[in-house]
A = this chain, B = another copy of it.
Amino acid sequence: MSISRRTFLKSSGAVPGALSLGLAPPALQSSAEGVSRLLAAFVVDSKWPDIPEDARKEAARAIVNWVGCALGGARHETAECALEALAGLSGPRTATVLGRKDRLDILHASLLNGITSHVLDFDDTHLATIIHPAGPVAPVLLALAERKPLSGADFLHAFILGVEVECRIGMGVYPSHYDRGYHITGSAGVFGAAAASGKVLGLDERQMNWALGIAATQSSGLREMFGTMCKAFHPGRAAQNGLTAALLAAKNFTSSEQSVEALRGFAHVLSGERDFSKMTRGLGETWEVTRNTYKPFPCGIVIHPTIDACIQLRNEHSLRPSDIDRVELRVHPLVLELTGKKTPMKGLEGKFSVYHSAAVALLRGVVGQKEYSDEAVRDRAVVALRDRVTATVDPSVREEEVHARVVLASGRAVEKHIEHVVGSLENPLTDRDLETKFRGQAEGLLSEVEIRNLLSLCWSVASIPDAAAIAKASVPA
């Protein structure tokens, strides 16, 4: 059962015509009255039974993926720096930093879990906006759950609403907003964090609208920061700022009630173009979380087709190192532009080498964080095969496509054409793939028993009595 569009129009008093403005001229666009109120009313009025099964299922998958990423980044230098700087300023330590024994107040824990889950660039992607949706939203909900019990269903419901709000606001300004230089995961994510927090805090419609406004006036995050620790700071700060917005609104801290659509509001100030209809059309009928995707490999998405092909060739032909004479790839032009490094010396550089990635995939059959360690890029067998990988640019090859050919020592060749890479919307990761990915990030941090327990809680999140159990179960014994 979905909430009808008319319900929102009615409850918000918005003019129907204002919802389908599309790419109208600025003057007309700016009359898109009531967008903020509409979004606020949607979040406040939404009931768990309104959420269809496919959205619930995909949300649980997003949680499995997100918790895994937070574990994978839990010991990252970026998190250590942030903790060293800020842990001493924490208030009541009610919230868990996933995968660690550290506990912080709900605001600082939101920051840290937003950082760790994004720091390996391995989290989920809403391809229509390239927002990483879980990072700003999940941390605030776990932190609130640890403060006051929150059923798994309420947790997942608020998560779905937060994702919906951030992705819809993002869709309304993408790609102009991103092209201008904003890291949209932070700048749109703050709305998702505010909406999700506000739902759990039980804000009324006006307070929810204020929460969106307090979020809007904190919207920030520059793409200039890519390549520095600040990139992962963005989803963390978006989480923390969105939660702050909801906490303030709950005490009637006032804000604009047209923060998204006003001429001096978010969409006009932070974006050259905007399409408010994308924020509101079909609200409550379609669910952005169902368009979420998950990276199978912890590296730039452009080499994913190559890795996918090499793993499949290895498994289908039971290839051993000694079987392989050389590897020939036909790739999209961006592959060599972004990942053309011939001789990576450090693990991180391996992520920018299609040669290393192909070799390690063929030799090991899995590509996780370990395959981008210093050890892996110096592994003699990997280096030996890497030097026999060639890649040719072919402009007719799409980004999510590759043609891979392995010439065997016997002289015979085996080939694989990947049309839709694993992890794309057309070829999503299976639940089992997600488990494998999760394990790759959790191993070394948690025991097998702990991993199984945590995975089980994440998969069954919609029915567990208290979502805080996920946070607690992430802490190593």
Contacts and interface: CB of A to CB of B under 8 A. Distances in A.
Interface in A181-224: 181-183, 186, 213-214, 216-224
A237 B217 CA distance: 10
A29 to B, nearest CB: 15
Contact of A229 (B181, B186, B253): B253
Given A214-B233, A222-B216, A256 B228 contact: yes
A146 to B, nearest CB: 13
A255 interface: yes
A23 interface: no
A292 interface: no
Given A222-B269, A224-B264, A230 B217 contact: yes
B224 A256 contact: yes
A251 interface: yes
Contacts of A229: 253-255
Contacts of A150: none
A182 B264 CA distance: 8
Interface in A29-80: 78
B85 A248 contact: yes
Given A213-B225, A256-B224, A269-B180, A237 B218 contact: yes
Interface in A151-189: 180-183, 186
Contact of A92 (B85, B89, B107, B183): B89
A121 to B, nearest CB: 16
A262 interface: yes
Contacts of A262: 224
Contact of A88 (B91, B213, B218, B225): B91
Interface residues of A, number: 56
B89 A225 contact: no
Nearest to A93: B91
A28 to B, nearest CB: 19
Contacts of A92: 88-89
Contacts of A214: 230, 233
Contacts of A252: 81
A85 to B, nearest CB: 4
Contacts of A78: 253
Nearest to A259: B224
Interface string A107-129: 10000000000000000000000
A266 B252 CA distance: 32
A107 B248 CA distance: 16
Nearest to A262: B224
A254 B228 contact: yes
Interface in A2-21: none
A224 to B, nearest CB: 4
A91 B105 CA distance: 8
Interface string A223-252: 111001110011001000000100110111
A85 B253 contact: yes
A258 interface: yes
Interface string A428-461: 0000000000000000000000000000000000
A473 interface: no
Contacts of A223: 264
Nearest to A94: B89
A330 interface: no
Contacts of A224: 213, 216-217, 256, 258-259, 262-265, 269
23 contacts: A81-B251, A85-B247, A85-B250, A86-B247, A89-B91, A181-B264, A181-B268, A183-B217, A213-B228, A217-B221, A217-B222, A219-B220, A222-B256, A223-B264, A224-B256, A224-B258, A224-B259, A224-B262, A224-B264, A228-B255, A229-B253, A230-B256, A233-B253
When A and B form their complex, which 6 residue pairs have the shortest distance between CB atoms, in order from nearest? Answer: A181-B269, A181-B264, A224-B264, A89-B91, A85-B251, A220-B220
